[in-house]
Amino acid sequence: MSADRYDKCIKKNICELMAFYNKSSLPEHVLFGVEFDRAEMGLVSQKWPLPSNQQLSESIPQDLVKAWEGQLNNPATSDCQFNVQGQIIYANSAILCARSKYFELVFRGQWLESDITKQEILQSSTKDQKDYNNNSVISQRCNHVIDVTDFHHQTFLEMLRFLYTNKVTFVEKKDEQNSQLTPLDLFRIADKYLIDDLRQHAKSEIFKDLNVNDAAEFLFGTAWKYPELKEQAMKYVVLNFVTVRQTSGFKNILADPSSYPAYTDLLNEILAELFPATGSVNTGKPAKEENA
């Protein structure tokens, strides 16, 4: 549309509008919206969706991943030592600080608590290293030596591998019984060391494998300790309660409530979700279903 033709159209529309409205009722300034079928005003910037963590991880060249993985547990390039279950793991504090707020503060001698678990951070100490296997003094001197007592060696090493490579390996559900690399293991360690990406990875894996048979045990036994796990597990149990209440896991909980510290609160919360009008309800076994 030419500029002259466009001006004529605008004037015509204004005249028609003025004829329709009483001039005295119009405000002093009138703003008209204009819609163009095509605007040749140059390219408009477009925001593309950011890649997911998995996509980012997959985009890293494998040779680069292997190169960084080779730096983990390498005394020649490390300045900190972790003593985990009688085994030594070496790492570089600069890498850990860049990837974890926990390590950034612990190596600065500060204190912090996880927002979720409220676990206190221990300060590192400086001392000569000793090889726990042959008790010989290692020639290199580490700036930080930290004893880790609350996680398995395998779990701690995998957490460090994620910090180095952005890669993580979760054991398959069928093999979880004899492994320390379950999604829950890695969720717990990611929570303590404030590694949000790893925590989200682990959380996704946890709920991907959740089913009605183990949902109640998971909620009452573990998830209640972590608000973000509890919220999602609670929704799952409530949504599938007709089936969940018939599982052996739920019946075991009802039979031994003293083994579950949050039993009363959780059961009341479930009942309140199922029957919102009744509010808090006394706990007890669900009524038996009548045979058809």
The 10s digit of each residue's pLDDT in 248-265 is 999 999 999 999 999 999
pLDDT at 225 over 90: yes
- Same structural domain for residues 241 and 275? yes
Domain range for 226 is 210-292
- Structure confidence at residue 179 as a pLDDT band (50, 70, 90): confident
Report the C-alpha gap between 108 and 277 in whole angstroms: 52
- Same structural domain for residues 187 and 214? no
pLDDT, greater one: 130 or 23: 23
**231 CB neighbour count, 10 Å cutoff:** 11
**2 CB neighbour count, 10 Å cutoff:** 7
Residue 47 placed within a domain:
no
Name which of 65-69, 71-75, 191-195, 266-270 the model is least confident about. Answer: 65-69
- Same structural domain for residues 143 and 268? no
Residue 120 placed within a domain:
yes
Residue 20 placed within a domain:
no
| pLDDT value of residue 12 | 59
Residue 49 placed within a domain:
no
Alpha carbon 82 to its chain centroid, in Å, reads 25
- Same structural domain for residues 140 and 94? yes
Mean pLDDT (the chain, rounded) = 75
Q: Measured in Å, how far apart are the chain's first and last C-alpha atoms?
A: 74
- Same structural domain for residues 175 and 281? no
- Same structural domain for residues 169 and 261? no
Task: Say how many CA atoms lie within 13 Å of 42 toward its Cβ.
Answer: 1
- Same structural domain for residues 73 and 186? yes
- Same structural domain for residues 138 and 78? yes
pLDDT at 266 over 70: yes
Report the C-alpha gap between 184 and 137 in whole angstroms: 37
pLDDT at 172 over 70: yes
- Same structural domain for residues 135 and 98? yes
The 10s digit of each residue's pLDDT in 61-89 is 666 667 667 778 889 889 999 999 999 99
Report the C-alpha gap between 45 and 207 in whole angstroms: 37
The residue among 107, 117, 73 whose CA lies nearest residue 223 is 117
| pLDDT value of residue 267 | 95
Residue 170 placed within a domain:
yes
- Please give the backbone phi and psi of residue 79, each rounded to the nearest 5 degrees, phi first: -130, 10
pLDDT, greater one: 63 or 197: 197
- Same structural domain for residues 145 and 241? no
Residue 205 placed within a domain:
no
| pLDDT value of residue 18 | 57
Domain boundary among 131, 163, 193: 193
CATH code for the domain in which residue 259 is found: 1.25.40.420
Give the count of domains, the chain: 2
CATH code for the domain in which residue 66 is found: 3.30.710.10
pLDDT at 161 over 70: yes
Residue 1 placed within a domain:
no
The 10s digit of each residue's pLDDT in 118-152 is 444 444 444 444 444 443 444 356 788 899 999 99
- Same structural domain for residues 67 and 177? yes
Domain boundary among 165, 193, 221: 193
Residue 200 placed within a domain:
no
- Same structural domain for residues 70 and 180? yes
Give the max Cα distance, the chain: 100
